[in-house]
Amino acid sequence: MKTIVTIIGIWIILLPQILKAELKEIPFTIDDRDRLIRTEQKVEAVDAKIDMKVDGLHSEMTARFDQLFNFLWAIIGIFTTMMVSVFGFAFWDRKLSLAPLRKENEKTLMVLRDYAKHQPKLLEILKNAGLL
């Protein structure tokens, strides 16, 4: 207990001296001012170099993105051309393959109409279906 009281007493005695040391002003000399100016110049030079490098990287990145977008437009163009040609071929093939069926269907309908002239029941069925 006695050691704790001694330590606290020493702190109480030394505390005003420690506070005075912290409040003491340090004089600012001309050498300090010159050092500060040189430091600012160096920081500005480094900042200018960084700006130049960033501008160079920005222009390279922009050129790279332009290449990428041109490539994507080419891919989109190729894909669109392929899809249009596939759909065009499908419609053309469908039209070409259905043409003989339409001719055959017309022939069958013409035969039914001729036969309906002799069969009244078939004539009535064709009229109800809207084929006459």
Taking only the tens place, the pLDDT of each residue in 24-35 is: 566 778 888 889
Task: Of 4-13, 20-29, 55-64, 102-111, give the lowest mean pLDDT range.
Answer: 20-29
CA distance 75 to 82: 11
Q: Which two tokens stand for residue 119?
A: 């069969």
Sequence-ordered list of residues with C-beta below 8 angstroms from that of 109, at least 6 positions apart, any chain: 131
pLDDT exceeds cutoff 80 at 14? no
DSSP letter, residue 121: H
Higher pLDDT, 4 or 75: 75
Q: Is the pLDDT of residue 132 over 80?
A: no
Query: At 29, which helix (H) or strand (E)?
Result: none
